[in-house]
Structure 1
Amino acid sequence: MYSRAETSRIRKEFWIKFGQFMKPVPNAEGRRINWPNYKTGIKDIYFRMKAERDFVSVGIEIAHGDAEYQELIFDHFTQLRKILESCTQEEWDWVLHHENEVGQIVSKIEKVKKGLNVMEEKDWASIISFLKPRIIALDEFWDLVKPGFEDL
């Protein structure tokens, strides 16, 4: 069992390594980007990457406090589903109104892979291999559709 401090250190070390690995990769506009802390530029829409003890995930999180407005944004993403699937070359899971780990109601569109453990350094290459193409594809998707969210 890991102490809280050791768990925090290992997770931090993984995200630093991931950031270093991704540093030379430009975004869809050809600019340098901080991939682990991707900024969508739209309030309440986040790209989340998680690496936990039993899974890894990447996705879009809609965290607006108003449930109806959150659903409106989610519906707008739903209309763009084919574009997302074209960019990612796979289907993702779509969940409207889900309680996240801090008790906030969010909606999410994500891809999850079970069986990888961020606490095991031997899994890091597999975690990075899962995250890298999907966050790049998500950035490509966002480059195409972001203008449609700026006026919502």
Structure 2
Amino acid sequence: MYTREQASQLRQAFWTAFGQYLSPHLSAEGLKTNWSNYKTGIKHVYFRMQAEKKSASIAIELTHPDLEIQQLYFEQFEELRTLLHESLGEEWEWDLHTTDENGRTVSRIYKEIAPANVFNKDDWPTLISFFKPRIIALDEFWSDAKYSFDSLK
């Protein structure tokens, strides 16, 4: 087992390596992007990548505290479901109003792999191969789709 500090350092090392690996890749709009901490430009709409001991996931996470507004965002993504899945080249899971690790109600559209262990450096290539094409595809999707959320800001 790792101490909390060792686990934190390993996670940080993975995300640093991931960021360096993707840093030469420009966004769909030709801009330099922080892929590990992707900014959607819309409050309460996040693209989140998580890597833990048993699995990893990439998600569109909707965190608006007003659940009706959160549902409006989710419904807007549902309108774009075909475009999203075409951009990603695969189907993702859709959860309206689920609970996150902090007990908050969020909505998520996500893809997960297991087993995958961020604490095992031998798994890092698998994790990078999982995250890279999906975050790039999300960026390509978002470069077109974000304008349909302007009225919800």
TM-score by length of 1: 0.99
Aligned twin of 1:77:
77
Structure 2 unaligned residues grouped into runs of 5+: none
> How big is the shift at 1:77?
0.3
The CA distance in 1 between the partners of 2:30 and 2:51, in whole Å, is: 27
Aligned residue type for 1:35: W
Match in the other structure for 1:22: 22
SS at match of 2:9: helix
- Deviant stretches of 4+, over 2 Å: none
SS at match of 2:138: helix
Q: Which amino acid aligns with 2:57?
A: S
2:123 paired with 1:119: no
Instruction: Determine the structure 2 residue equivalent to 1:41.
Output: 41
Please provide the CA RMSD for this pair: 0.5
Q: Secondary structure at the match of 2:50?
A: strand
Question: What amino acid is aligned across from residue 151 of structure 1 in structure 2?
Answer: S
Alpha-carbon shift at residue 116 of structure 1 (Å): 0.4
1:104 deviates by: 1.0
1:149 and 1:141 map into 2 onto residues whose CA distance is 13
Q: Distance in 2 between matches of 1:99 and 1:59?
A: 14
1:6-17 alignment runs, 5 A limit: 6-17=6-17
Residue 98 of structure 2 is matched in structure 1 by 98
Which string of whole-angstrom CA distances, capped at 9 and with x for unpartnered residues, describes residues 16-42 of structure 1? 000000000000001110000100000
Structure 2 length as normaliser, TM-score? 0.98
Q: What does residue 132 of structure 2 align with?
A: 132
- Alignment partners' CA distance in 1, 2:67 and 2:146: 21
Secondary structure at the counterpart of residue 49 of structure 1: strand
Separation in structure 1 between the aligned mates of residue 52 and residue 150 of structure 2, nearest angstrom: 32
The unaligned stretches of length 5 or more in structure 1 are none
In structure 1, give the amino acid aligned to 2:16: I
Between the aligned partners of 1:11 and 1:126, the Cα distance in structure 2 is 15
One-letter code aligned to 2:136: I
Which deviations, in whole Å up to 9, do the C-alpha atoms of 1:110-137 show, x marking residues without a partner?
A: 0101100000000000000000000000
Q: Secondary structure at the match of 1:15?
A: helix
Per the TM alignment, residue 46 of structure 1 is displaced from its structure 2 partner at its CA by 0.3
